């Protein structure tokens, strides 16, 4: 470790013990152990609190510690009546929330726990029973909002309750429809560059991000498109073709995870406004999940897997923690 002698006394502190507290980017030389140490961000998935019952094709909005899980189906594919059940998740406890007015699956959502909105989806035993209804959540109960202009399931969206967007979906044919919500009504806007369903969406209506999805059954894509309030621009491709995943964050800082492509996926990737980069994978590969959060704190829950029974209750939480590392030299 003698090579550290040129470091000591310059820009890196020499300490007899490791400092506390620590922050990402800290670096020092421990003179007792004669090691160069630093603090780096380390991301990982860990087990969270399970859903009280199997559920897939659900939606989630809010944050990793103040999230809402709504709708979906509690029955296997092919026998899939939808549910009105809603749960609130604080990062450790699942508690019942106000029920949806209309049972549905394949719906999308936007907003935060105290000011959210869900929209679209399908009910009954067939995905052809598409829905155009919106419901707003105030942290306690849902109330009816104005309808989407285009009824559809397998839809994506995001944003605050008063500046949300809805994109793509199934009508039952694949859709490229793109709509904005201003807190009162939905307005049609410039369509997506291509039809797709089961995509992920991030950001408000003036800075939207739409990633992945299916252009036909079993045909997943890597496409990423950004909306700047007036037009669409293609951006960096997702690392794997996927659909039916979940995401959190914004147009310049997003996290996407899970999905099908066509097998079940555990992939996680972060977006910096131009490029997707892989992150640690989830423990369980699955699709048709619920999930929300940011690039540094998110959760994924429920979904469909390849094993029997096919539906999931498992929740996983994504975090980035400041971690001390010892650096070596050659």
**Across 86-91, average pLDDT:** 98
Give the integer Cα–Cα distance in Å for 317 and 283.
10
Residues 30-55 have pLDDT tens digits of 999 999 999 888 999 999 999 999 99
Reading the block at residue 241, the tokens are 């073709």
Break the chain down into helix, strand, coil percent, rounded to 5.
0, 45, 55
Query: Per residue in 93-116, pLDDT tens?
Result: 999 999 999 999 999 999 999 999
pLDDT tens digits, one per residue of 150-181: 999 999 999 999 999 999 999 989 999 999 99
Q: Quick one: DSSP state of residue 191?
A: P
Q: Residue 209 in contact with residue 234, Cβ under 8 Å?
A: no
* Residue range 51-313, CATH number: 2.120.10.80
Res. 127: pLDDT tops 90: no
Phi, psi of 161 (to 5 degrees): -55, -30
242's tokens: 């996927």
| Contact between residue 276 and residue 237 where contact means Cβ atoms under 8 Å apart | yes
pLDDT for 79 equals 61
Cα–Cα distance measured from residue 133 to residue 148, given in angstroms and rounded to the nearest whole number: 6
The order of strands in the sheet holding 208-211 is 200-202, 208-211, 224-227, 232-234
Work out the number of other CB atoms within 10 angstroms of the CB of residue 96. 10
Query: Which pair of tokens denotes residue 213?
Result: 């999805």
Share of the chain above pLDDT 70, in %: 95
Residue 269's closest CA among 245, 286, 301? 245
The helix/strand/coil state of 80 is: coil
241 vs 235: CA distance, rounded Å: 15
Asked whether residue 4 carries a pLDDT value surpassing 50, the answer given is: no
Residue 8 has pLDDT above 60, yes or no: no
Exposure string over 167-195, b if 16+ CB within 10 A, otherwise e: bbbbbbebbebbbbbeeeebeebeebeeb
Q: Quote the percentage of the chain above a pLDDT of 90.
A: 82
Cα–Cα distance between 295 and 92 in angstroms, integer?
19
Q: How far is CA 110 from the centre of its chain?
A: 11
- The Cα 322–Cα 43 span in angstroms is 9
Partners of 210 in the β-ladder: 201, 225
DSSP-assigned letter for residue 6: G
Residue range(s) occupied by CATH 2.120.10.80 in the chain: 51-313
């Amino acid at each position: 470790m003698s090579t550290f002698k040129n470091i000591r006394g310059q820009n890196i502190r020499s300490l007899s013990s490791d400092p506390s507290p620590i922050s990402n980017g800290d670096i020092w030389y421990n003179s007792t152990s004669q090691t160069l140490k630093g603090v780096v961000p380390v991301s990982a998935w860990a087990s969270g609190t399970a859903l009280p019952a199997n559920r897939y094709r659900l939606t989630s909005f809010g944050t990793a510690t103040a999230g809402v899980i709504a709708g979906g189906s509690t029955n296997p594919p092919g026998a899939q009546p939808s549910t009105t059940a809603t749960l609130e998740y604080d990062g450790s406890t699942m508690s019942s929330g106000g029920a949806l007015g209309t049972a549905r699956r394949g719906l999308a959502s936007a907003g935060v726990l105290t000011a959210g909105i869900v929209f679209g989806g399908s009910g009954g035993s067939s995905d052809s029973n598409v829905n155009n209804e919106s419901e707003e959540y105030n942290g306690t109960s849902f109330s009816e909002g104005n309808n989407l202009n285009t009824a559809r399931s397998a839809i994506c969206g995001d944003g605050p309750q008063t500046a949300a967007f809805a994109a793509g979906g199934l009508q039952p044919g694949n859709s490229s429809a793109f709509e904005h919500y201003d807190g009162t009504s939905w307005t049609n806007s410039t369509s997506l560059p291509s039809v797709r369903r089961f995509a992920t969406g991030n950001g408000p209506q003036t800075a939207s991000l739409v990633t992945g999805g299916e252009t036909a059954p079993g045909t997943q894509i890597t496409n990423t498109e950004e909306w700047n309030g007036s037009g669409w621009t293609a951006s960096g491709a997702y690392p794997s073709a996927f659909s039916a995943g979940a995401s959190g964050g914004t147009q310049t800082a997003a996290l996407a995870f899970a999905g099908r492509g066509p097998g079940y996926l555990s992939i996680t990737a972060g977006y910096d406004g131009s490029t997707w980069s892989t992150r640690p994978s989830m423990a369980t590969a699955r699709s048709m999940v619920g999930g929300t959060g940011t690039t540094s704190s998110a959760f994924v829950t429920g979904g469909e897997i390849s094993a029997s029974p096919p539906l999931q209750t498992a929740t996983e939480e994504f975090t980035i923690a400041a971690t001390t590392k010892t650096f070596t030299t050659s």
